[in-house]
Homo-oligomer: A and B are copies of this chain.
Amino acid sequence: MSTGLFPFVGLPLPRISPKPKAITRDDRFEVIVIGAGPAGLMMTFLLARYGLTAESVPCIDAKANRRSSLARTTTPSSRYPHVVTIHQGKVEQILEAGLLQYYATGVQRRSRLVDAYIDSAGDVEFPVVAKVERDGVVKTLRSKYLVGADGAHSAVRRAVGLELEGNGPDEVWGALDLVVDTDFPDIRRRSLIRSRHGTVFVIPRERNASGEYLTRLYVRMPYELCGFEYAGECGLSLRDRTNSNAIFEQACRVLGPFHLGLRGAVEWWSCYQIRQRILKQYVVSDADDIGRIFLVGDGMNVSMMDAYNLGWKLAYSIMGLTPVSLDSLQQDEILKSYHCERFPIAQQLIEFDRQYAAKFAAAKEMSLCEDRSTSGVNSILGCRRRINAFSSGCGIEYSESILTTKAGQAISFSGSCLLALTPGTRLPNVRLKRYADGEYCDLHDEMISNGRFRVLCLASSDFLSSDGVSARALHWIGEALLPHFPGDVIEQFVIYPSEQCPRDWSCLPSSVKCHSEMRLYDGSAVQDAYEQFGVDIHHGALVILRPDGHIGMIASLEGHAVLDDYFTSCLRRRCE
């Protein structure tokens, strides 16, 4: 793994559970991942980084090589305040390059899942059966878990008999990549144009090979232009029913009276049937109600976040780091939380889409000549902001569970700040100055995806006082909390107020240097972390972060003992 040429990305998690005896056989695995799109690659890559070995996590894909289709783009609004448009192919390339650092073999392609089911009687340690066909030969594989990340027409979903539910109206959208010649003034900005002729989204793209700027147009197609009645299952032949000319002409109609011309040929086009239906159940369990087959959502954005939520939970369970994980007949609450956390997100997203479409239909026609500040448009923009917050992950809040304790939220927080810490949401970023070397850094960059829990201590204004509340909390964390859990599964981060900057290490409890030499930061040298996070500098706070970056719990410095309860319910304690 480490060749010295790649940046250090964290050690594997410690493994408490024994490695399965049968794992040397070539038909027994810990996790089988179906699908090598962004979510499947993300899942396999994370499991590799967390410490599962190459032999135990095959990633299987039906296609011979990379997809050529392009996905819609994400709109992060947090650590990176940019709008980024990236090929799905590029995302896959980045993830696969990461994966190849761990697994020289990479993805097993041209291998099609033909069946998947649970058969605990056949092998209790490897209860999931996956039948995979390659070159006409069907091989039977077994695993502890199987992840279905094979997209909209998931073979896993079909094999286990899960249906999509919901009955919103379908829509057909055409998409074009082209070099335009236009006097429409906002052609280089993301814009949404609605006229009496219809709706067009404009998404500026990168340059093509000739150096000209591409534009992506999404064009909602009127019923009569698709040559057929919209219906649920004719999506596969949709491309045959329209063409790039029809899509371009519809775009011209919507943009009129502005001129829309085409320079050269249309570089790429496609059309989509958008369905408002979702999977009701993300997990298929065995007879003991233990989840064995996991599905991730459809669509690059949601499915990658699903994989990020599930990855560490699978790794913790397999490696024996959760409390019950050495007993294969007990339900693992950590694994169960996957469906509980992610299913409501899919529901909320559908609901947002529905509201957005409804608001859109109700709003007056938008044109550049009209007043943009009408309440209808504002309401649309507000809705769009919530969708953006969703896309970036910053607007997602998981509900109360074993992993998310909401109670502490009110203890020591001064309410009304923009990025106030809220259990269940992602920790917002803040820019800090590292004590050991004086470098400026972003807290998000410091918290690499290494599968660890974190305790973030925002020390109070008595940080330098050896019997102050901060010193006592830090001493307790170093001496009475961290040693009770395996290896380095919990990392300590410490932020202090500028005026409490220690002269040298001897001014601090020794556990601070021992556990967080390179994770000690001046919290007001660049941005004011206390103000940003809404933490009272006189009281400080303790924050538990889950391996996926969401806030698990907030506690006061005095009330530090509750951290032990949280971790004891999520993590195996060391034998003492």
A residues at B contact (CB < 8 Å): 1-2, 4-5, 7-8, 10-11, 82-83, 87, 89-90, 93, 183, 185, 187-189, 204, 206-211, 213, 436-439, 488, 504-505, 517-518
Contacts and interface: CB of A to CB of B under 8 A. Distances in A.
Contacts of A5: 87, 89-90, 93
Given A209-B2, A213-B518, A518-B213, A189 B8 contact: no
26 contacts: A1-B209, A2-B208, A2-B209, A4-B87, A4-B89, A5-B87, A5-B89, A5-B90, A5-B93, A8-B206, A8-B207, A8-B211, A10-B211, A11-B210, A11-B211, A82-B439, A83-B439, A183-B505, A185-B504, A188-B436, A188-B517, A188-B518, A189-B436, A189-B438, A211-B488, A213-B518
Nearest to A212: B8
Nearest to A368: B504
Contacts of A82: 439
A398 to B, nearest CB: 29
Contacts of A188: 436-437, 517-518
Given A5-B87, A185-B504, A188-B436, 18 more contacts: A2-B209, A5-B89, A8-B207, A8-B208, A8-B209, A10-B211, A11-B210, A82-B439, A83-B439, A185-B505, A188-B517, A188-B518, A189-B436, A189-B437, A189-B438, A204-B437, A213-B517, A213-B518
A210 B187 CA distance: 50
Contacts of A505: 183, 185
A83 B438 CA distance: 11
Contacts of A206: 7-8
A130 B94 CA distance: 40
Nearest to A190: B437
Nearest to A92: B5
A216 to B, nearest CB: 13
Contacts of A211: 8, 10-11, 488
A320 to B, nearest CB: 21
A576 B4 CA distance: 56
Pairs A-B, 7 closest by C-beta atoms:
A2-B209, A188-B436, A188-B437, A8-B207, A185-B504, A189-B437, A11-B211
Nearest to A81: B440
A7 B10 CA distance: 29
A1 B209 CA distance: 8
A179 to B, nearest CB: 12
A204 B11 CA distance: 20
A435 to B, nearest CB: 9
Nearest to A436: B188
A87 B89 CA distance: 30
A211 B519 CA distance: 13
Nearest to A8: B207
A468 B474 CA distance: 66
Nearest to A68: B4
A87 B204 CA distance: 37
A568 to B, nearest CB: 26
A173 to B, nearest CB: 22
A442 to B, nearest CB: 13
Contacts of A204: 437
A1 to B, nearest CB: 7
Nearest to A518: B213
A2 B5 CA distance: 26
A90 B90 CA distance: 22
Contacts of A2: 208-209
Nearest to A1: B209
Contacts of A89: 4-5
Contacts of A183: 505
A437 to B, nearest CB: 4
Nearest to A11: B211
Nearest to A504: B185
A192 B243 CA distance: 68
A268 to B, nearest CB: 9
A213 B439 CA distance: 15
Q: Which of A4, A204, A208, A518 has the most C-beta atoms of chain B within 10 angstroms of its own C-beta?
A: A4
A575 to B, nearest CB: 24
A506 B204 CA distance: 21
Nearest to A183: B505
A90 B83 CA distance: 29
A2 B82 CA distance: 24
Nearest to A7: B206
Contacts of A83: 439
A489 to B, nearest CB: 13
A570 B189 CA distance: 38
A82 B439 CA distance: 8
A89 B438 CA distance: 27
A10 B188 CA distance: 19
A82 B437 CA distance: 12
A439 to B, nearest CB: 8
Q: Which of A89, A437, A438, A517 has the most C-beta atoms of chain B within 10 angstroms of its own C-beta?
A: A437
Contacts of A438: 189
Nearest to A505: B185
